[in-house]
Structure 1
Amino acid sequence: MLQIHLLSKFSVTIDDRDVTGLEASKAQETLAYLLIHRQRPHSREVLIDQIWGDYTKDQAQKGLRQALWQLQNALHGQDSNLHTGLLQVDTTWVQISVTSQFWLDIAVLEECYERVQGIRGQLLTADQAAAVTDAVQLYQGDLLETCYQDWCLIERERLQHIDLSLLDKLMEYEETQGNYEKACAYGEQILRHDRAREQTHRRLMRLYCLAGDRTAALRQYEACVVALATELAVKPAKQTEALYQAIKADTLAYPSPAASPTPPSATPTSLPSLLNHLQQVQVALADLQRNVAQDIQLLESLLPPSS
């Protein structure tokens, strides 16, 4: 079966054998663009504009012809065992064949995201969590890491957002299961991609407390302060500061994510306990609001422009 990896290092294999002849960067970029937008055909003019925008018209047309020849020669080669039927090419249009069968890493990531979109991490089933785990393991690096064309940068950011959203769900899921070390590992993975992601810093602070490591929680706050100052030139939000003060004073009483909301009659009656309880609710609501805003932003970016 044809397998294509666009994340991190570009690679194409058929039945575990490397497909040769695709070493040229423009051939890789052309195939990647077609696969990312695999649901529709593309005119040659669009491909030229997207991939050869900095070239003269003659150079761009020649470059596209050469890239398509390289792709067809590699994927539709004379060896019948290597004939994939992946591309449909004519004098005007190029597209991924709707009848071709292939495995694509970004397709797995996108399909997994669509299946669990709108489901909080703590509500994932074991099967859903396993599927998300498999999907994020495919993300070993960014889309076409050596390509800096505008279209690629946009798609790279979109896929990064999908990966981070899935990691967020896994972090919350593992916290719900009481697997605090796994949850922390996902949080650290998120911060390697986006070190100024404040909601992740907050969640890690709470997780370290749940795991009994107050020192690590306080150090996480310090890391958050440095990241926000370096990346965004801002200070932590009030929710983050409130959480830090509660941890520092050793008054944090973080409820189990799976627990039902505390009824009003059972709410702590002492003023310090009540204040701490409300601060934690405030932090949780802020995280939820941020997650919803990110999902809305992604959906808006996927909608076609209004006429």
Structure 2
Amino acid sequence: MDPILRVELLGHFRFSFKGRAITGLSPRHQSLLAYLILNQQNPQLRTQIAFLFWPDSSDEQALTNLRRELHQLRHHLPQAEDFLVIDRRQLQWRAGPHFSLDVADFQSAVHSGSRAALEKAVKLYRGDLLPSCYEDWIVPERERLHGLMIEAYLRLIGWLEEDREYRLALEHAHDLLAHEPLHEGAYRALMRLHSLLGERAAALHAYHTCASLLGRDLGARPSAATQALYQSLLESDEPSQPTSIPPAGQPSTEAAYPLIGREQEWNTLRQTWGEAMLSGARCVVIQGVAGIGKTRLAEELLRWVAERGIAGARTRCYAAEGRLAFAPITEWLRSRSLRPGLEASEPLGLSEVARLLPELLREHPDLPRPPPLSESWQRQHFFEAVARCFLRDHRPLLLVLDDIQWCDPDTLEWLHYLLRSTPQAQLLLVATLRSEERRDNIALQTFLRDLRQWGRLSELELGPLNEIHTARLAAQVAGQPPDTSFTDFTRLSL
């Protein structure tokens, strides 16, 4: 038999009598009824309820207020005498066989623990307990039921994972995050499930979303369990040799050929990336003579992070532009990867960035024009505004700077500020450096020395390929297997 009176307190307040909604109940009526229903196992003293609901009134006035509310409830609630037991000292809700409560049904389903019961439980939990009530008494019960909801979702996801219903489990993991956006267990479930479905990039993206939200909202990093799962995903199913697909929007003739003979350097570069993600901002300098393959290695990391949904931007320095201030930063800011940071900037910050991107003043005519940088504090504000465009939402970021030996002093000063002022940022700067020209840039020497002393610099030296790797690379370029004569030639050349 269907219940005569149906009460719903999860996500909203709803009283239904014989299928028809009961209207006209004030927020105070709703709160008082919820209190009696949730505490129906014991009679409640009138004096206790009066003090709880009207703590700022005198005892006499509080009891008068309670009598008024009870009188109105009798008027609005059909067959009130069947459900409300009222005497001169006490009040109690009488449940009976013709009454149903979503909270009770939810708790019963969670405690049952079967897959069907858990599916019923998460369906019943439409939201937190009586969200329109802001009184202190409801908070502990609201938090307890919220915890049961999390438990129900995690157990249900476990059931579905065991039954290999990964897509349905993913839907429930997303539903759990809708209720609890910072729950790491839900993000780990997403990571596992996407991995089981062969969607490795989506699994890694779930980690980065988790890390970003935790950093933004709590100033915290993912737990050891979440980081360990992330590391296992990075290490699982990795190709023995990186492929050669260049990042979208960044074509390169060098990247048209596979990365040959650089397995050790490639592993070191990826390890440095992992250190930056776990321990904070770092810089790695890839050194070697011109044409040795520095840019190719940096491009491979750009491609690798792009596959994982991570933002990356590349620029380069030119010998003829060594005195052009902030030129590399300007090119980074114009990249698609950093556009969201620009669009999210507040007007004052955007005005500072307009020093590098004057087109912003045309796109936003109301922007105040930035004053000249005549004082040191103005320069710091400018540096801060530009840095916020790069580190918006605390998301991981890879920056590649080619030919840093020609970098201007102003850019190096800003890069030093970026790495020093945000040490916990998930940021890696990869710079390529022609070793034969490194001593010609005094500002660069100071920059590298400071990072080295700070413990945030990794240096990767590239030497020439051996004859076997040279022959393999030449064969890839030529589109045919290497022959013995070419291998002998390279051995003599080397």
Normalising by structure 2, report the TM-score: 0.45
Q: Deviations over 1:110-145 (max 9, x none)?
A: 1122223xxxxxxxxxxx212221222121122111
Partner of 2:75: 73
Picking from 91, 95, 98, the partner of 2:92 is 95
1:168 partner letter = L
Partner of 2:155: 169
Is 1:245 matched up with 2:231?
A: yes
Task: Tell me how far 1:100 sits from its aligned partner.
Answer: 5.7
Q: Deviations over 1:183-239 (max 9, x none)?
A: 111111112222222222112101100011111101100011112223332212222
Task: Tell me how far 1:98 sits from its aligned partner.
Answer: 5.4
2:102 partner letter = D
- Whether the 8 Å contact between 1:2 and 1:84 is mirrored in structure 2 is no
Partner of 1:8: 11
- Aligned to 1:132, the other structure's residue is in SS state helix
Looking at structure 1, the residues matched to 229 and 80 of structure 2 have their Cα atoms a distance apart, in angstroms, of: 59
- Whether the 8 Å contact between 1:9 and 1:144 is mirrored in structure 2 is yes
- Whether the 8 Å contact between 2:110 and 2:117 is mirrored in structure 1 is no
- Aligned to 1:12, the other structure's residue is in SS state strand
Partner of 1:113: 110
- Aligned to 1:192, the other structure's residue is in SS state helix
How do residues 1-307 of structure 1 correspond to structure 2 at under 5 angstroms? Answer: 1-21=4-24, 23-75=25-77, 77=78, 82=79, 85-97=82-94, 99=96, 101-116=98-113, 128-251=114-237
Looking at structure 2, the residues matched to 54 and 146 of structure 1 have their Cα atoms a distance apart, in angstroms, of: 21
Q: Name stretches of at least 5 consecutive residues in structure 2 with no aligned partner.
A: 239-494
- Aligned to 1:175, the other structure's residue is in SS state helix
Compare CA radii of gyration and give the structure with the larger one: 2
Task: Tell me how far 1:18 sits from its aligned partner.
Answer: 1.8
Task: Tell me how far 1:61 sits from its aligned partner.
Answer: 1.7
Task: Tell me how far 1:26 sits from its aligned partner.
Answer: 1.1
Looking at structure 1, the residues matched to 54 and 80 of structure 2 have their Cα atoms a distance apart, in angstroms, of: 28
Task: Tell me how far 1:158 sits from its aligned partner.
Answer: 1.1
Q: Deviations over 1:15-74 (max 9, x none)?
A: 1112234x2111111110011111110001121222222334344222211221122222
Structure 1 consecutive aligned stretches of length 4 or more whose deviation exceeds 6 Å: none
Looking at structure 1, the residues matched to 76 and 212 of structure 2 have their Cα atoms a distance apart, in angstroms, of: 49
Looking at structure 2, the residues matched to 217 and 197 of structure 1 have their Cα atoms a distance apart, in angstroms, of: 16
Looking at structure 1, the residues matched to 209 and 57 of structure 2 have their Cα atoms a distance apart, in angstroms, of: 45
1:89 partner letter = I
Looking at structure 2, the residues matched to 154 and 218 of structure 1 have their Cα atoms a distance apart, in angstroms, of: 36
Range with bigger deviation, 40-49 or 241-250: 241-250
- Whether the 8 Å contact between 1:86 and 1:100 is mirrored in structure 2 is no
Looking at structure 1, the residues matched to 95 and 181 of structure 2 have their Cα atoms a distance apart, in angstroms, of: 40
Q: Deviations over 1:222-262 (max 9, x none)?
A: 0111122233322122222222122123349xxxxxxxxxx
Share of identical aligned residues, percent?
A: 34
- Whether the 8 Å contact between 1:7 and 1:143 is mirrored in structure 2 is yes
Partner of 1:287: none
Looking at structure 2, the residues matched to 229 and 239 of structure 1 have their Cα atoms a distance apart, in angstroms, of: 16
Looking at structure 2, the residues matched to 60 and 179 of structure 1 have their Cα atoms a distance apart, in angstroms, of: 55
Looking at structure 2, the residues matched to 13 and 63 of structure 1 have their Cα atoms a distance apart, in angstroms, of: 26
Looking at structure 2, the residues matched to 229 and 245 of structure 1 have their Cα atoms a distance apart, in angstroms, of: 19
Q: Name stretches of at least 5 consecutive residues in structure 1 with no aligned partner.
A: 117-127, 253-307
- Whether the 8 Å contact between 2:85 and 2:94 is mirrored in structure 1 is yes
- Aligned to 2:82, the other structure's residue is in SS state coil
- Whether the 8 Å contact between 1:113 and 1:162 is mirrored in structure 2 is yes
Partner of 2:461: none
- Aligned to 1:245, the other structure's residue is in SS state helix
Compared CA separation, residues 100 and 60, structure 1 to 2 (3 A): farther
2:59 partner letter = K
Task: Tell me how far 1:83 sits from its aligned partner.
Answer: 5.6
- Whether the 8 Å contact between 1:11 and 1:18 is mirrored in structure 2 is yes
Looking at structure 1, the residues matched to 64 and 14 of structure 2 have their Cα atoms a distance apart, in angstroms, of: 24
- Whether the 8 Å contact between 2:153 and 2:176 is mirrored in structure 1 is yes
- Whether the 8 Å contact between 2:122 and 2:153 is mirrored in structure 1 is yes
- Aligned to 1:20, the other structure's residue is in SS state coil
1:193 partner letter = H
Compared CA separation, residues 137 and 86, structure 1 to 2 (3 A): same
Aligned Cα root-mean-square deviation (Å)? 1.9
Task: Tell me how far 1:84 sits from its aligned partner.
Answer: 6.2
- Whether the 8 Å contact between 1:41 and 1:94 is mirrored in structure 2 is yes
Looking at structure 2, the residues matched to 72 and 112 of structure 1 have their Cα atoms a distance apart, in angstroms, of: 32
